[in-house]
Amino acid sequence: MKTFKNLTASDFPGVDAKKFDEWKQAVMRTRGIIYMVLIIYIILNIKSYGTIGHIIYDTPIVFLTGFLLISQHTRYVTIKHSTYVICFLCVLILFNIIFVLITGSFVGESLITIVVLFWLFNQSKKNDRSAIEAGIDIMTIKRVLSQ
């Protein structure tokens, strides 16, 4: 089985090689940013653990959302992938609202992470649009990666 890094324009007949390379670089750049956001979130989470005495409650949801964004161009992607990401981001917002109502304080790391994850979701959608313009769709990616 191939990985995303090993994909070439020749795997997709009729696709312009230049557009394919631009799209692949944009996806790889977005993935790198997602990894950096998750690492920074962990560092801030550990810092908050020492300051307030407990690990931030939404860490599993943040990591699941990051995983969904990272896995968007793999053989595991589903048609409802975007819906799942939006649902998890809405749950994050809901958790933050409940946390503020219960404690009277907010967690800055979570709010920043929500904004950044929405931005990354937007970047991911732009990458999807450029893939469609280049003639690449989700099902073709899944088929090529499964070979």
Token pair, residue 119, equals 């931005």
Confidence (pLDDT) at 119? 92
Which runs of E-coded beta strand occur in the chain?
none
Instruction: Please give the model's pTM, rounded to 2 decimal places.
Output: 0.78
Token pair, residue 48, equals 């908050």
Rounded mean pLDDT, 137-147: 78
d(CA 11, CA 136): 10
Which amino acid type is present at position 135?
G
Please write the tens of the pLDDT for every residue from 70-115: 887 777 777 788 888 898 888 888 888 887 788 777 667 777 888 8
The helix/strand/coil state of 133 is helix
Confidence (pLDDT) at 50? 58
Please write the tens of the pLDDT for every residue from 15-70: 888 888 888 899 999 989 999 988 888 887 777 665 555 556 777 788 888 888 88
User: On the CB side of 41, how many CA atoms lie within 13 Å of its CA?
Assistant: 25
Alpha carbon separation from 1 to 23, 72, 84, 142, 145 (Å, rounded): 21, 17, 26, 11, 6
The helix/strand/coil state of 16 is coil
Token pair, residue 116, equals 């950044």
User: On the CB side of 14, how many CA atoms lie within 13 Å of its CA?
Assistant: 6
Confidence (pLDDT) at 25? 92
**DSSP letter for each residue of 19-63:** HHHHHHHHHHHHHHHHHHHHHHHHHHHHHHHHHHSS--TTHHHHH
Q: How many helices (H) and strands (E) does the chain have?
A: 5, 0
Rounded mean pLDDT, 116-137: 87
